[in-house]
Amino acid sequence: MKIAKKVDQLKPSGIRAFFDLVLNMKDVISLGVGEPDFVTPWGIREKAIYSIEQGYTSYTSNKGMAELRKAIVNFLYHRYGLNYHFDNETLITVGVSEGLDLAVRAILNPGDKVLIPEPCYVSYGPVVELAGGKPVFLKTDIKNEFKLSPKQIEKACTKGVKALMINYPCNPTGASYTKKELREIAKVVKKKNLIVISDEVYDELTYDFDHTPLSSFPGMKDYVIYLNGFSKGYAMTGFRLGWVCGPEKIIAGMTKIHQYTMLCAPIISQMAAVEALRSGLKDVQSMKKEYMRRRRFVVSRLNEIGLDCHMPQGAFYVFPSIKKTKQSSLNFAQDLLKKKKVALVPGVAFGPSVEGYIRISYASSFENLKEAMLRIEQYLAK
Ligand SMILES: Cc1ncc(COP(=O)(O)O)c(C=O)c1O
């Protein structure tokens, strides 16, 4: 039986391939997987349980429950001054993952090009390819704190470029953009008439300045497909719930695809999400405080033991350089796993030309982080 060429040629996720190895090993400290180590706050879990007890087991509207969409637009208005209509500018998705896929499928014609910063989240290239588009990777590096510059975007806008994918705070580098930096990016986006798919799933985990949604700048609502969700800030990865806000026509297109493929997001998760928004950001902020404590610790330990590491501005990852070791990132990760039983992700998993870096997730207990840093120190000392 033959599978489609496009699928056959697609590389499996570097992260998964690596962590399949880890599954069969004992006593490994895993700093590899990108999800909170906290369980979902109790009030949200309780609401999910209660909604099952009450018999909420049906489909919902394709767009998602109106109550949830209203809660989201209301939250966005008060948090960021965003002004989206709940009924025709908002769609509930099965995580930001589905939002990313729907966005590219809704806007791309075969061969359209999409600018993608590199390193980037593992799904960006593949979803563009599966939608018939062509990823164009724009390199970012430590010299510019792993950020795209407006000039770089403008220069890359050659024939056939239709869209830009951006993610801040960024997985894997933790880089984020200030309001001032985003304002300059917004100018280029308008000048070049780009559609921006803005993945802001880590917005609540921005540490050194306030997060600013790209669509909050005057006139930018018409250019931005704004993606967000509950996975990271609320520690709700298993609920698989996200949302998209954007121009009416694009949301209508994405809803059509969603309706034929996913039908709707799970009702239990939607009810839990209503509770998450109702209960406010107290739990989110206490998790954020703990991530900040770990971030300081991990960055200072890594620099102390000789792996240059910049201070990330958000998410729960650090992205230190391993260039001094003269090993490839895959080699380093495999060897460290074998000799010291610490699992982290080789930089090369985040883009075809990313080398010389590793991603460490600090969504792990302080104890684990302390022990892992010690093991890495011993590994480097040999
Ligand atoms: C940048 C980024 N976007 C999207 C996702 C997927 O999020 P979700 O759980 O909402 O599908 C992740 C998960 O690691 C991520 O890091």
pLDDT beyond 90 at 380: yes
Tens digit of each residue's pLDDT (9 = 90 or more) over 236-288: 999 999 999 999 999 999 999 999 999 999 999 999 999 999 999 999 999 99
Tell which phi-psi region holds residue 240, choosing left (phi > 0), alpha (psi between -120 and 50) or beta. Answer: left
Q: With a cut of 90, say whether residue 356 has pLDDT above it.
A: yes
Which overall architecture, per CATH, does domain 58-279 show? 3-Layer(aba) Sandwich (3.40)
Question: If you measure from the C-alpha of residue 173 to the centroid of ligand 1, how many angstroms do you get, rounded to a whole number?
Answer: 14
**Ligand 1 proximal residues by C-beta, below 6 Å:** 34, 95-97, 121, 167, 171, 199, 201, 229, 231, 237, 242
Number of CB atoms found within 10 A of residue 27's CB = 5
pTM above 0.85, yes or no: yes
40, 92, 116, 121: residue to mutate for ligand 1 pocket, most atoms within 8 A of CB: 121
Whole-angstrom Cα distance, residue 372 to residue 359? 13
CA–CA–CA angle 115, 121, 122 (5° rounding): 100
Position 16 confidence tier, pLDDT thresholds 50, 70, 90? confident
Backbone angles phi, psi at 49, to 5 degrees: -60, -45
| Per-residue model confidence (pLDDT) at position 23 | 82
CB atoms within 10 A of CB 67: 14
325 CA distance to ligand 1 middle (Å): 30
Query: What does the pLDDT average to over 215-226?
Result: 98
pLDDT of residue 12: 80
pLDDT at 280: 94
What share of the chain has pLDDT > 70, as a percent? 99
Q: Is the pLDDT of residue 18 over 80?
A: no
pLDDT at 164: 98
- Determine the pLDDT at residue 318: 98
Distance CA 65, CA 47 (A): 15
Cα of 97 to ligand 1 centre, how many Å?
6
Average pLDDT in the chain:
96
Among 20-34, 145-159, 262-276, which is the least confidently predicted range? 20-34
Ligand 1: centre distance to CA 378 (Å): 33
Residue-wise burial string across 304-322, b where 16 or more C-beta atoms lie within 10 A, e elsewhere = ebebebbebbbbbbbbbbb
Residue 122 C-alpha to ligand 1 middle, in angstroms? 9
Spell out the residues 6+ positions from residue 159 whose beta carbon is closer than 8 angstroms to its own.
none
Strands 224-229 and 134-139: unpaired
The answer to whether residue 112 scores a pLDDT higher than 80 is yes
Residue 17, pLDDT > 80, answer no
- Same fold yes or no, 5-40+283-381 and 58-279: no
Overall average pLDDT of the 95-112 stretch: 98
Residue type, 159: K
With the most atoms of ligand 1 within 8 angstroms of its CB, the residue from 124, 201, 240 to mutate is: 201
pLDDT of the residue at 259: 98
Q: Is domain 5-40+283-381 annotated with CATH 3.90.1150.10?
A: yes
pLDDT score recorded for residue 189: 98
Residue of minimum CA distance from atom 7 in ligand 1: 96
Mean pLDDT of 113-135: 97
With bands split at pLDDT 50, 70 and 90, how would you rate the model's confidence at 35? very high
For the cut 80, the answer to whether the pLDDT of residue 232 exceeds it is yes
Positive or negative torsion for Cα 27, 28, 29, 35: negative
Q: Give yes or no for residue 100 having a pLDDT over 90.
A: yes
The pLDDT of residue 19 is above 90: no
- pLDDT, tens only, 287-345: 999 999 999 999 999 999 999 999 999 999 999 999 999 999 999 999 999 999 999 99
Domain layout of the chain by residue ranges: 5-40+283-381, 58-279
Those residues whose C-beta lies under 8 Å from the C-beta of residue 257, and which sit 6 or more positions away, are: 102, 105, 106
Residue range 53-80: average pLDDT? 98
